[in-house]
Structure 1
Amino acid sequence: MRYTTLISAAELAQHALDPDWVVIDCRHDLAMPDAGRLAFEAGHIPGAQFAHADRDLSGSKHDGQGRFRGRHPLPERTDFIETLRRWGVNNKSQVVAYDAHGGMFAARLWWLLRWVGHEAVAVLDGGLPAWTDSGMWLSAELRGKPYGDFIAKPALVGTVEVDALVKNLDSPTLTVVDARAPDRFRGENETIDPVGGHIPGATNRFFKNNLQENGHFKPAAQLREEWQAVIASPQSAVMQCGSGITACHNLLALEVAGLPGAALYPGSWSEWCADPARPIEK
Protein backbone atom coordinates (compact mmCIF):
# COMPACT_ATOMS: atom_id res chain seq x y z
CA MET A 1 0.00 0.00 0.00
CA ARG A 2 1.28 3.45 -0.92
CA TYR A 3 0.50 6.53 1.15
CA THR A 4 0.05 9.64 -0.99
CA THR A 5 -1.52 12.27 1.30
CA LEU A 6 -1.65 11.53 5.04
CA ILE A 7 -0.47 8.72 7.30
CA SER A 8 -1.30 8.10 10.95
CA ALA A 9 1.25 7.66 13.71
CA ALA A 10 0.12 4.06 14.18
CA GLU A 11 0.61 3.29 10.49
CA LEU A 12 4.04 4.90 10.46
CA ALA A 13 5.10 3.00 13.58
CA GLN A 14 4.65 -0.26 11.68
CA HIS A 15 7.14 0.82 9.00
CA ALA A 16 9.41 3.53 10.44
CA LEU A 17 12.54 1.35 10.21
CA ASP A 18 11.58 -0.40 6.96
CA PRO A 19 14.53 0.00 4.53
CA ASP A 20 12.15 1.09 1.77
CA TRP A 21 10.70 3.87 3.92
CA VAL A 22 12.36 7.27 4.33
CA VAL A 23 11.15 9.49 7.15
CA ILE A 24 12.03 13.20 6.98
CA ASP A 25 11.89 15.63 9.90
CA CYS A 26 10.89 19.07 8.56
CA ARG A 27 10.69 21.06 11.79
CA HIS A 28 11.59 24.71 11.33
CA ASP A 29 11.20 28.14 12.88
CA LEU A 30 11.11 31.06 10.46
CA ALA A 31 12.46 33.39 13.18
CA MET A 32 15.21 30.98 14.33
CA PRO A 33 16.54 29.05 11.32
CA ASP A 34 18.63 26.65 13.42
CA ALA A 35 15.80 25.67 15.77
CA GLY A 36 14.63 22.76 13.64
CA ARG A 37 18.05 21.15 13.43
CA LEU A 38 18.58 21.55 17.19
CA ALA A 39 15.19 20.00 17.91
CA PHE A 40 15.99 17.13 15.55
CA GLU A 41 19.29 16.44 17.26
CA ALA A 42 17.59 16.44 20.66
CA GLY A 43 15.03 13.85 19.61
CA HIS A 44 13.28 12.63 16.46
CA ILE A 45 11.36 9.68 15.06
CA PRO A 46 13.86 6.81 14.95
CA GLY A 47 15.69 6.60 11.64
CA ALA A 48 14.49 10.00 10.42
CA GLN A 49 16.61 12.31 8.25
CA PHE A 50 16.48 16.10 8.61
CA ALA A 51 15.32 18.65 6.02
CA HIS A 52 16.14 22.32 6.45
CA ALA A 53 13.42 24.56 5.01
CA ASP A 54 15.89 27.21 3.85
CA ARG A 55 18.69 25.00 2.52
CA ASP A 56 17.00 21.77 1.41
CA LEU A 57 13.46 22.81 0.51
CA SER A 58 14.26 26.19 -1.06
CA GLY A 59 16.61 27.63 -3.66
CA SER A 60 18.43 30.87 -4.37
CA LYS A 61 16.42 34.01 -3.67
CA HIS A 62 17.61 35.58 -6.93
CA ASP A 63 17.67 34.21 -10.46
CA GLY A 64 20.55 34.42 -12.92
CA GLN A 65 19.57 37.98 -13.87
CA GLY A 66 19.51 39.09 -10.23
CA ARG A 67 15.71 39.25 -9.99
CA PHE A 68 14.21 38.49 -6.58
CA ARG A 69 12.25 35.22 -6.61
CA GLY A 70 10.78 35.39 -3.09
CA ARG A 71 11.93 34.30 0.36
CA HIS A 72 11.60 30.57 -0.29
CA PRO A 73 11.74 29.94 -4.05
CA LEU A 74 11.81 26.41 -5.39
CA PRO A 75 15.20 24.71 -5.37
CA GLU A 76 16.81 23.76 -8.65
CA ARG A 77 15.45 20.35 -9.67
CA THR A 78 18.93 18.85 -9.93
CA ASP A 79 19.85 20.13 -6.47
CA PHE A 80 16.67 18.75 -4.93
CA ILE A 81 17.14 15.36 -6.59
CA GLU A 82 20.66 15.21 -5.15
CA THR A 83 19.21 16.05 -1.71
CA LEU A 84 16.70 13.21 -2.03
CA ARG A 85 19.46 10.78 -2.91
CA ARG A 86 21.49 11.98 0.08
CA TRP A 87 18.51 11.14 2.29
CA GLY A 88 18.41 7.65 0.78
CA VAL A 89 15.36 8.11 -1.43
CA ASN A 90 14.85 5.65 -4.28
CA ASN A 91 12.00 5.50 -6.77
CA LYS A 92 10.44 2.68 -4.74
CA SER A 93 10.72 4.58 -1.45
CA GLN A 94 7.72 5.48 0.66
CA VAL A 95 8.56 8.92 2.00
CA VAL A 96 6.92 10.33 5.13
CA ALA A 97 7.37 13.99 6.10
CA TYR A 98 6.56 15.40 9.51
CA ASP A 99 6.97 18.52 11.61
CA ALA A 100 5.53 19.88 14.85
CA HIS A 101 3.50 22.67 13.23
CA GLY A 102 0.40 20.97 11.87
CA GLY A 103 2.16 20.03 8.63
CA MET A 104 3.17 23.60 7.77
CA PHE A 105 6.66 22.60 6.59
CA ALA A 106 6.09 18.90 5.94
CA ALA A 107 3.54 19.79 3.25
CA ARG A 108 6.26 21.69 1.39
CA LEU A 109 8.35 18.53 1.13
CA TRP A 110 5.23 16.56 0.15
CA TRP A 111 4.64 18.99 -2.71
CA LEU A 112 8.27 19.06 -3.80
CA LEU A 113 8.39 15.30 -4.12
CA ARG A 114 5.28 15.39 -6.31
CA TRP A 115 7.00 18.17 -8.28
CA VAL A 116 9.73 15.67 -9.24
CA GLY A 117 7.17 12.98 -10.00
CA HIS A 118 7.22 10.90 -6.79
CA GLU A 119 3.72 9.92 -5.69
CA ALA A 120 4.51 7.75 -2.64
CA VAL A 121 4.89 10.59 -0.16
CA ALA A 122 2.67 11.39 2.80
CA VAL A 123 2.54 13.81 5.72
CA LEU A 124 2.28 12.46 9.26
CA ASP A 125 -1.19 13.52 10.36
CA GLY A 126 -0.86 15.43 13.63
CA GLY A 127 2.92 15.59 13.26
CA LEU A 128 5.40 14.81 16.02
CA PRO A 129 2.81 15.49 18.78
CA ALA A 130 0.64 12.68 17.36
CA TRP A 131 3.67 10.38 17.45
CA THR A 132 4.56 11.09 21.06
CA ASP A 133 0.92 11.19 22.21
CA SER A 134 0.62 7.65 20.87
CA GLY A 135 3.37 6.57 23.26
CA MET A 136 6.04 6.29 20.56
CA TRP A 137 9.62 6.98 21.52
CA LEU A 138 12.11 9.46 20.11
CA SER A 139 15.75 8.91 19.30
CA ALA A 140 18.76 11.23 19.35
CA GLU A 141 20.77 8.82 17.21
CA LEU A 142 21.83 10.32 13.88
CA ARG A 143 21.40 7.39 11.53
CA GLY A 144 21.97 7.93 7.82
CA LYS A 145 20.68 5.74 5.00
CA PRO A 146 22.50 4.31 1.99
CA TYR A 147 22.79 6.80 -0.84
CA GLY A 148 19.66 6.68 -2.99
CA ASP A 149 19.29 6.38 -6.74
CA PHE A 150 16.15 8.48 -7.19
CA ILE A 151 15.40 9.49 -10.79
CA ALA A 152 12.86 12.21 -11.43
CA LYS A 153 9.67 11.62 -13.40
CA PRO A 154 7.23 14.11 -14.97
CA ALA A 155 5.77 16.49 -12.40
CA LEU A 156 2.49 15.57 -10.73
CA VAL A 157 1.82 19.21 -9.80
CA GLY A 158 1.76 22.55 -11.57
CA THR A 159 3.06 26.04 -10.94
CA VAL A 160 2.01 29.52 -12.01
CA GLU A 161 4.57 32.30 -12.30
CA VAL A 162 4.18 35.96 -11.47
CA ASP A 163 3.73 37.17 -15.08
CA ALA A 164 0.66 34.96 -15.48
CA LEU A 165 -0.86 36.43 -12.33
CA VAL A 166 -0.19 39.97 -13.53
CA LYS A 167 -2.08 39.14 -16.75
CA ASN A 168 -4.84 37.57 -14.67
CA LEU A 169 -5.60 40.98 -13.13
CA ASP A 170 -7.05 42.23 -16.43
CA SER A 171 -8.69 39.01 -17.59
CA PRO A 172 -9.40 36.91 -14.49
CA THR A 173 -9.52 33.21 -15.19
CA LEU A 174 -7.59 32.05 -12.12
CA THR A 175 -8.76 32.08 -8.49
CA VAL A 176 -5.86 33.04 -6.22
CA VAL A 177 -6.10 31.71 -2.66
CA ASP A 178 -3.78 33.14 0.01
CA ALA A 179 -2.87 30.81 2.91
CA ARG A 180 -1.60 33.52 5.26
CA ALA A 181 -3.31 34.48 8.52
CA PRO A 182 -6.20 36.94 8.00
CA ASP A 183 -4.36 39.89 9.57
CA ARG A 184 -1.48 39.42 7.14
CA PHE A 185 -3.87 39.05 4.21
CA ARG A 186 -5.51 42.35 5.17
CA GLY A 187 -2.12 44.07 5.49
CA GLU A 188 -2.36 44.56 9.26
CA ASN A 189 0.81 42.74 10.34
CA GLU A 190 3.77 44.85 9.32
CA THR A 191 6.10 42.92 11.63
CA ILE A 192 5.93 39.90 9.32
CA ASP A 193 4.97 41.65 6.08
CA PRO A 194 6.65 45.08 5.84
CA VAL A 195 4.65 45.57 2.66
CA GLY A 196 1.14 44.57 3.66
CA GLY A 197 -1.87 43.45 1.68
CA HIS A 198 -2.58 40.87 -0.99
CA ILE A 199 -2.81 40.33 -4.73
CA PRO A 200 -5.92 42.14 -6.02
CA GLY A 201 -8.86 39.79 -6.31
CA ALA A 202 -7.30 37.08 -4.12
CA THR A 203 -9.31 35.29 -1.46
CA ASN A 204 -8.09 34.10 1.94
CA ARG A 205 -8.04 30.55 3.31
CA PHE A 206 -5.74 30.39 6.34
CA PHE A 207 -3.90 27.07 6.21
CA LYS A 208 -4.75 26.32 9.85
CA ASN A 209 -8.41 26.17 8.85
CA ASN A 210 -7.58 22.78 7.34
CA LEU A 211 -6.95 21.39 10.82
CA GLN A 212 -8.99 20.22 13.75
CA GLU A 213 -8.27 21.51 17.25
CA ASN A 214 -6.01 18.52 17.92
CA GLY A 215 -3.76 19.42 14.98
CA HIS A 216 -4.99 16.61 12.72
CA PHE A 217 -6.47 17.35 9.31
CA LYS A 218 -10.23 17.64 9.12
CA PRO A 219 -12.08 14.70 7.53
CA ALA A 220 -12.02 14.61 3.74
CA ALA A 221 -15.76 15.28 3.39
CA GLN A 222 -15.55 18.37 5.59
CA LEU A 223 -12.53 19.71 3.71
CA ARG A 224 -14.30 19.14 0.42
CA GLU A 225 -17.37 21.07 1.53
CA GLU A 226 -15.33 23.96 2.90
CA TRP A 227 -13.05 24.21 -0.13
CA GLN A 228 -15.91 24.06 -2.62
CA ALA A 229 -17.16 27.26 -0.99
CA VAL A 230 -13.79 28.88 -1.77
CA ILE A 231 -12.99 27.70 -5.30
CA ALA A 232 -15.26 26.73 -8.18
CA SER A 233 -12.68 24.47 -9.83
CA PRO A 234 -9.27 23.28 -8.56
CA GLN A 235 -7.92 23.34 -12.12
CA SER A 236 -8.33 27.13 -12.22
CA ALA A 237 -7.08 27.76 -8.67
CA VAL A 238 -3.66 29.01 -7.59
CA MET A 239 -2.38 28.64 -4.02
CA GLN A 240 -0.01 31.19 -2.54
CA CYS A 241 1.10 32.46 0.88
CA GLY A 242 3.96 34.57 2.18
CA SER A 243 6.79 32.70 0.49
CA GLY A 244 5.39 29.51 -1.04
CA ILE A 245 5.58 27.19 1.97
CA THR A 246 2.20 27.21 3.73
CA ALA A 247 0.44 27.36 0.35
CA CYS A 248 1.48 23.71 0.04
CA HIS A 249 -0.64 22.94 3.11
CA ASN A 250 -3.71 24.13 1.21
CA LEU A 251 -2.65 22.01 -1.77
CA LEU A 252 -2.37 18.96 0.48
CA ALA A 253 -5.80 19.68 1.98
CA LEU A 254 -7.29 19.86 -1.51
CA GLU A 255 -5.74 16.51 -2.36
CA VAL A 256 -7.14 14.98 0.84
CA ALA A 257 -10.54 16.45 -0.08
CA GLY A 258 -10.43 14.78 -3.49
CA LEU A 259 -10.05 18.11 -5.27
CA PRO A 260 -6.70 17.82 -7.09
CA GLY A 261 -5.35 20.06 -9.80
CA ALA A 262 -4.64 23.43 -8.17
CA ALA A 263 -1.29 25.09 -8.89
CA LEU A 264 1.32 26.71 -6.66
CA TYR A 265 2.61 30.25 -7.08
CA PRO A 266 6.12 29.61 -5.70
CA GLY A 267 7.22 33.24 -5.23
CA SER A 268 3.99 34.15 -3.46
CA TRP A 269 3.52 37.45 -1.64
CA SER A 270 7.23 38.00 -0.94
CA GLU A 271 7.95 38.05 -4.68
CA TRP A 272 4.78 39.92 -5.68
CA CYS A 273 5.24 42.84 -3.27
CA ALA A 274 8.95 43.24 -4.09
CA ASP A 275 8.06 45.07 -7.30
CA PRO A 276 6.29 48.39 -6.57
CA ALA A 277 4.78 48.31 -10.07
CA ARG A 278 2.53 45.40 -9.07
CA PRO A 279 -0.75 46.53 -7.49
CA ILE A 280 -1.66 45.72 -3.89
CA GLU A 281 -5.07 45.37 -2.30
CA LYS A 282 -5.93 45.63 1.39
Structure 2
Amino acid sequence: MSYLISVNRLKSRLENNQDNTVLVDVRFQLGDPQAGRKAYLEEHIPGAVYMDLEKDLSGKKEKHGGSHPLPDIDMLAAKISNIGIDHDTTVVVYDKENDMFAARFWWLLHYMGHKKVYVLEGGYDCWKKEGNETTSEIPQLQKKHFSPSVREDEKVNIETVKQKLTNENTIVIDSRAKERYLGKTEPMYAKAGHIPGAKNFFWKELIKDNQTWKKGEELAEHFKSLPKNKEIIVSCGSGVSACPNILALKSAGYSNVKLYPGSFSDWISYEENPVETKDE
Protein backbone atom coordinates (compact mmCIF):
# COMPACT_ATOMS: atom_id res chain seq x y z
CA MET A 1 0.00 0.00 0.00
CA SER A 2 1.25 3.49 -0.84
CA TYR A 3 0.94 6.31 1.65
CA LEU A 4 2.18 8.89 -0.86
CA ILE A 5 0.25 11.11 -3.26
CA SER A 6 1.75 12.89 -6.27
CA VAL A 7 1.27 16.57 -7.06
CA ASN A 8 -0.72 15.66 -10.16
CA ARG A 9 -3.05 13.35 -8.24
CA LEU A 10 -3.61 15.98 -5.56
CA LYS A 11 -4.27 18.66 -8.18
CA SER A 12 -6.81 16.42 -9.94
CA ARG A 13 -8.45 15.60 -6.62
CA LEU A 14 -8.86 19.26 -5.72
CA GLU A 15 -10.08 20.29 -9.18
CA ASN A 16 -12.74 17.58 -9.24
CA ASN A 17 -13.83 18.06 -5.62
CA GLN A 18 -13.14 14.37 -5.18
CA ASP A 19 -14.19 13.20 -1.73
CA ASN A 20 -13.74 15.53 1.24
CA THR A 21 -10.07 16.45 1.47
CA VAL A 22 -8.18 18.44 4.10
CA LEU A 23 -4.68 19.71 3.37
CA VAL A 24 -2.26 20.16 6.25
CA ASP A 25 0.95 22.20 5.99
CA VAL A 26 3.61 21.13 8.52
CA ARG A 27 6.68 22.99 7.27
CA PHE A 28 9.15 23.45 10.11
CA GLN A 29 12.81 24.20 10.84
CA LEU A 30 14.42 22.76 13.96
CA GLY A 31 16.85 25.68 14.15
CA ASP A 32 14.13 28.31 13.64
CA PRO A 33 10.80 27.13 15.10
CA GLN A 34 8.87 30.14 13.71
CA ALA A 35 10.05 29.69 10.12
CA GLY A 36 7.43 27.14 9.09
CA ARG A 37 4.45 29.14 10.30
CA LYS A 38 5.91 32.28 8.75
CA ALA A 39 6.32 30.51 5.41
CA TYR A 40 2.72 29.26 5.62
CA LEU A 41 1.37 32.76 6.28
CA GLU A 42 3.28 34.08 3.26
CA GLU A 43 1.97 31.41 0.90
CA HIS A 44 0.66 27.85 0.91
CA ILE A 45 -1.41 25.45 -1.16
CA PRO A 46 -4.99 26.78 -1.33
CA GLY A 47 -7.16 25.35 1.41
CA ALA A 48 -4.26 24.16 3.57
CA VAL A 49 -4.19 24.66 7.33
CA TYR A 50 -1.03 24.81 9.42
CA MET A 51 0.05 22.52 12.23
CA ASP A 52 3.25 23.08 14.19
CA LEU A 53 5.70 20.31 15.13
CA GLU A 54 6.32 21.63 18.62
CA LYS A 55 2.95 23.22 19.46
CA ASP A 56 0.63 20.65 17.88
CA LEU A 57 2.52 17.46 17.03
CA SER A 58 4.60 17.16 20.21
CA GLY A 59 3.87 17.14 23.92
CA LYS A 60 5.44 18.85 26.89
CA LYS A 61 9.12 18.09 27.41
CA GLU A 62 10.02 16.35 30.66
CA LYS A 63 13.26 14.99 32.12
CA HIS A 64 12.61 11.72 30.28
CA GLY A 65 10.58 10.97 27.18
CA GLY A 66 12.73 12.61 24.53
CA SER A 67 12.95 16.04 22.98
CA HIS A 68 9.75 15.67 20.90
CA PRO A 69 7.44 13.49 23.03
CA LEU A 70 4.09 12.47 21.60
CA PRO A 71 1.27 14.98 22.15
CA ASP A 72 -1.72 14.28 24.34
CA ILE A 73 -3.90 12.24 22.00
CA ASP A 74 -7.23 13.69 23.14
CA MET A 75 -5.87 17.21 22.68
CA LEU A 76 -4.57 16.37 19.21
CA ALA A 77 -7.90 14.76 18.32
CA ALA A 78 -9.66 17.99 19.32
CA LYS A 79 -7.29 20.04 17.16
CA ILE A 80 -7.75 17.90 14.06
CA SER A 81 -11.51 17.91 14.65
CA ASN A 82 -11.38 21.71 14.65
CA ILE A 83 -9.69 21.78 11.23
CA GLY A 84 -12.38 19.61 9.66
CA ILE A 85 -11.06 16.06 9.94
CA ASP A 86 -13.10 13.00 10.84
CA HIS A 87 -12.60 9.34 9.89
CA ASP A 88 -14.24 9.90 6.49
CA THR A 89 -11.86 12.73 5.57
CA THR A 90 -8.96 12.18 3.20
CA VAL A 91 -5.97 14.01 4.66
CA VAL A 92 -2.99 15.15 2.59
CA VAL A 93 -0.03 16.47 4.56
CA TYR A 94 2.93 18.29 3.05
CA ASP A 95 6.29 19.66 4.06
CA LYS A 96 8.70 21.98 2.29
CA GLU A 97 10.18 19.10 0.31
CA ASN A 98 10.34 15.41 1.26
CA ASP A 99 11.04 16.30 4.87
CA MET A 100 10.42 14.34 8.06
CA PHE A 101 7.68 16.49 9.59
CA ALA A 102 4.98 15.37 7.14
CA ALA A 103 5.73 11.74 7.99
CA ARG A 104 5.42 12.58 11.70
CA PHE A 105 1.88 13.88 11.13
CA TRP A 106 1.12 10.88 8.91
CA TRP A 107 2.27 8.54 11.71
CA LEU A 108 0.25 10.34 14.38
CA LEU A 109 -2.98 10.03 12.37
CA HIS A 110 -2.16 6.41 11.56
CA TYR A 111 -1.52 5.76 15.27
CA MET A 112 -4.89 7.35 16.08
CA GLY A 113 -6.64 4.96 13.72
CA HIS A 114 -7.13 7.15 10.64
CA LYS A 115 -6.93 5.20 7.39
CA LYS A 116 -6.93 7.87 4.69
CA VAL A 117 -3.85 10.04 5.19
CA TYR A 118 -1.19 10.65 2.54
CA VAL A 119 2.11 12.51 2.31
CA LEU A 120 2.54 14.80 -0.72
CA GLU A 121 5.56 13.57 -2.65
CA GLY A 122 8.00 16.41 -3.25
CA GLY A 123 6.13 18.66 -0.84
CA TYR A 124 5.30 22.32 -1.26
CA ASP A 125 8.37 23.04 -3.37
CA CYS A 126 7.32 20.47 -5.97
CA TRP A 127 3.76 21.84 -6.01
CA LYS A 128 5.04 25.36 -6.66
CA LYS A 129 7.78 24.33 -9.11
CA GLU A 130 5.15 22.74 -11.33
CA GLY A 131 3.35 26.08 -11.61
CA ASN A 132 0.41 25.35 -9.36
CA GLU A 133 -1.55 28.03 -7.53
CA THR A 134 -0.53 29.27 -4.08
CA THR A 135 -2.23 31.70 -1.71
CA SER A 136 -1.87 33.52 1.59
CA GLU A 137 -5.59 33.18 2.39
CA ILE A 138 -6.38 31.31 5.62
CA PRO A 139 -9.23 28.83 5.03
CA GLN A 140 -12.31 28.51 7.20
CA LEU A 141 -13.05 24.83 7.65
CA GLN A 142 -16.14 23.21 9.08
CA LYS A 143 -15.52 21.60 12.45
CA LYS A 144 -16.02 17.83 12.58
CA HIS A 145 -15.57 15.16 15.23
CA PHE A 146 -12.56 12.84 15.21
CA SER A 147 -12.70 10.05 17.77
CA PRO A 148 -9.28 8.38 18.07
CA SER A 149 -9.00 4.61 17.94
CA VAL A 150 -5.43 4.36 19.16
CA ARG A 151 -3.23 1.57 17.86
CA GLU A 152 -1.20 1.07 21.04
CA ASP A 153 0.80 -1.75 19.49
CA GLU A 154 2.34 0.74 17.03
CA LYS A 155 4.73 2.20 19.62
CA VAL A 156 7.08 1.02 22.37
CA ASN A 157 8.62 2.63 25.45
CA ILE A 158 12.18 2.46 26.75
CA GLU A 159 11.48 -0.56 28.96
CA THR A 160 10.29 -2.55 25.95
CA VAL A 161 13.33 -1.46 23.90
CA LYS A 162 15.65 -2.68 26.65
CA GLN A 163 13.86 -6.03 26.77
CA LYS A 164 13.93 -6.46 22.99
CA LEU A 165 17.57 -5.50 22.32
CA THR A 166 18.69 -9.12 22.84
CA ASN A 167 15.60 -10.68 21.27
CA GLU A 168 16.48 -12.40 18.01
CA ASN A 169 12.97 -11.75 16.68
CA THR A 170 13.32 -7.96 17.02
CA ILE A 171 15.52 -5.49 15.11
CA VAL A 172 16.03 -1.91 16.28
CA ILE A 173 16.96 0.63 13.63
CA ASP A 174 18.30 4.18 13.94
CA SER A 175 17.08 6.62 11.27
CA ARG A 176 19.69 9.36 11.72
CA ALA A 177 22.64 10.19 9.46
CA LYS A 178 25.57 7.78 9.62
CA GLU A 179 27.87 10.37 11.20
CA ARG A 180 25.50 10.84 14.13
CA TYR A 181 24.83 7.10 14.43
CA LEU A 182 28.60 6.51 14.72
CA GLY A 183 29.01 9.36 17.19
CA LYS A 184 31.35 11.32 14.93
CA THR A 185 29.13 14.38 15.24
CA GLU A 186 26.20 15.29 17.46
CA PRO A 187 24.66 18.75 17.02
CA MET A 188 21.74 18.35 19.43
CA TYR A 189 22.45 16.07 22.38
CA ALA A 190 24.94 15.74 25.24
CA LYS A 191 26.03 12.26 24.18
CA ALA A 192 26.93 10.93 20.74
CA GLY A 193 26.39 7.49 19.25
CA HIS A 194 23.43 5.13 19.18
CA ILE A 195 21.44 2.59 21.17
CA PRO A 196 23.56 -0.58 21.37
CA GLY A 197 22.47 -3.10 18.76
CA ALA A 198 20.60 -0.61 16.56
CA LYS A 199 21.23 -0.81 12.82
CA ASN A 200 21.53 2.35 10.74
CA PHE A 201 18.99 3.19 8.01
CA PHE A 202 19.32 6.91 7.30
CA TRP A 203 15.84 8.12 6.37
CA LYS A 204 17.05 10.46 3.61
CA GLU A 205 18.29 7.45 1.66
CA LEU A 206 14.61 6.75 0.91
CA ILE A 207 14.58 9.81 -1.36
CA LYS A 208 16.03 9.62 -4.88
CA ASP A 209 17.90 12.39 -6.69
CA ASN A 210 14.76 13.38 -8.60
CA GLN A 211 12.98 14.01 -5.27
CA THR A 212 10.70 10.99 -5.54
CA TRP A 213 10.59 8.23 -2.92
CA LYS A 214 11.95 4.76 -3.54
CA LYS A 215 9.12 2.37 -4.35
CA GLY A 216 8.58 -1.24 -5.38
CA GLU A 217 11.78 -3.14 -6.13
CA GLU A 218 14.00 -0.23 -5.08
CA LEU A 219 12.32 -0.14 -1.67
CA ALA A 220 12.55 -3.91 -1.31
CA GLU A 221 16.27 -3.72 -2.11
CA HIS A 222 16.74 -0.91 0.40
CA PHE A 223 15.30 -3.00 3.23
CA LYS A 224 16.45 -6.44 2.05
CA SER A 225 18.50 -7.06 5.22
CA LEU A 226 15.36 -6.77 7.36
CA PRO A 227 13.28 -9.98 7.43
CA LYS A 228 9.55 -9.32 7.17
CA ASN A 229 8.74 -11.88 9.86
CA LYS A 230 10.59 -9.90 12.54
CA GLU A 231 9.47 -7.00 14.70
CA ILE A 232 11.07 -3.73 13.59
CA ILE A 233 11.45 -0.98 16.22
CA VAL A 234 12.26 2.34 14.58
CA SER A 235 14.13 5.12 16.39
CA CYS A 236 15.98 8.32 15.57
CA GLY A 237 16.87 11.34 17.69
CA SER A 238 13.44 12.30 19.01
CA GLY A 239 10.81 10.25 17.18
CA VAL A 240 10.45 12.50 14.13
CA SER A 241 12.86 11.27 11.44
CA ALA A 242 11.95 7.69 12.38
CA CYS A 243 8.54 8.27 10.80
CA PRO A 244 9.65 8.32 7.12
CA ASN A 245 11.22 4.90 7.71
CA ILE A 246 7.98 3.61 9.22
CA LEU A 247 5.99 4.91 6.25
CA ALA A 248 8.43 3.24 3.85
CA LEU A 249 8.56 -0.05 5.76
CA LYS A 250 4.78 -0.29 5.82
CA SER A 251 4.66 0.60 2.12
CA ALA A 252 7.12 -2.25 1.50
CA GLY A 253 4.88 -4.76 3.24
CA TYR A 254 6.35 -4.88 6.74
CA SER A 255 3.48 -5.34 9.17
CA ASN A 256 5.17 -5.47 12.59
CA VAL A 257 6.73 -1.99 12.69
CA LYS A 258 6.76 0.17 15.82
CA LEU A 259 7.97 3.64 16.78
CA TYR A 260 10.11 4.32 19.83
CA PRO A 261 8.91 7.92 20.30
CA GLY A 262 11.58 9.00 22.77
CA SER A 263 14.38 7.50 20.67
CA PHE A 264 18.02 8.41 21.36
CA SER A 265 17.17 11.61 23.26
CA ASP A 266 15.12 9.56 25.71
CA TRP A 267 17.69 6.75 25.87
CA ILE A 268 20.52 9.07 26.94
CA SER A 269 18.34 10.83 29.53
CA TYR A 270 19.02 7.78 31.71
CA GLU A 271 22.66 8.10 32.79
CA GLU A 272 23.08 4.34 33.22
CA ASN A 273 22.18 3.49 29.61
CA PRO A 274 25.18 2.55 27.46
CA VAL A 275 25.88 4.19 24.09
CA GLU A 276 27.58 2.51 21.13
CA THR A 277 29.69 4.12 18.39
CA LYS A 278 30.58 1.18 16.14
CA ASP A 279 28.65 0.12 13.05
CA GLU A 280 26.29 -2.78 13.72
TM-score range, shorter chain: over 0.9
In the alignment, does 2:29 pair up with 1:29? Answer: yes
1:176 to 162, 172, 175: 172
Amino acid at match of 2:254: L
Q: Give 1:37 shift.
A: 0.1
Which residue of 1 is the match for residue 261 of structure 2? 266
Partners of 2:252 and 2:196 lie apart in 1 by: 27
Q: Quote the sequence identity (%).
A: 35
Contact 1:103/1:123 (<8 A) preserved = no
Amino acid at match of 1:14: S
Contact 1:73/1:266 (<8 A) preserved = yes
Question: Structure 2: which 5+ residue stretches go unaligned?
Answer: none
Change (3 A) 1:109 1:157: farther
Q: Give 1:170 shift.
A: 4.4
- Secondary structure of 1:80 counterpart: helix
Amino acid at match of 1:166: K
In the alignment, does 2:89 pair up with 1:58? Answer: no
In the alignment, does 2:88 pair up with 1:92? Answer: yes
Contact 2:24/2:92 (<8 A) preserved = yes
- Secondary structure of 1:238 counterpart: strand
Cα distance per residue 1:104-133 (max 9 Å; x no partner): 110001110011100100000111122112
In the alignment, does 2:70 pair up with 1:74? Answer: yes
Partners of 1:107 and 1:224 lie apart in 2 by: 19
Superposition pairs of residues 34-49 of structure 1, within 5 angstroms: 34-49=34-49
Contact 1:114/1:156 (<8 A) preserved = no
Amino acid at match of 1:186: L
Partners of 2:32 and 2:249 lie apart in 1 by: 30
Contact 2:174/2:201 (<8 A) preserved = yes
In the alignment, does 2:210 pair up with 1:214? Answer: yes
Contact 1:166/1:278 (<8 A) preserved = no
Contact 2:112/2:148 (<8 A) preserved = yes
Superposition pairs of residues 223-238 of structure 1, within 5 angstroms: 223-229=219-225, 231-233=226-228, 235-238=230-233
Amino acid at match of 1:79: M
Which residue of 1 is the match for residue 273 of structure 2? 278
Q: Which moved more, 1:191-200 or 1:178-187?
A: 191-200
Change (3 A) 1:161 1:86: same
Question: Structure 1: which 5+ residue stretches go unaligned?
Answer: none
- Secondary structure of 1:23 counterpart: strand
Which residue of 2 is the match for residue 249 of structure 1? 244
In the alignment, does 2:235 pair up with 1:240? Answer: yes
Partners of 1:60 and 1:72 lie apart in 2 by: 8
Amino acid at match of 1:95: V
Contact 1:95/1:121 (<8 A) preserved = yes
How many pairs does the alignment contain?
275
Contact 2:87/2:115 (<8 A) preserved = no
Q: Give 1:149 shift.
A: 1.1
Q: Give 1:102 shift.
A: 1.0
**TM-score, length-normalised on structure 2?**
0.93
In the alignment, does 2:121 pair up with 1:125? Answer: yes
Amino acid at match of 1:257: A
Q: Give 1:148 shift.
A: 1.6
Superposition pairs of residues 134-149 of structure 1, within 5 angstroms: 134-149=130-145
**TM-score, length-normalised on structure 1?**
0.92
Q: Give 1:167 shift.
A: 2.0
Contact 1:87/1:145 (<8 A) preserved = yes
Contact 1:54/1:72 (<8 A) preserved = yes
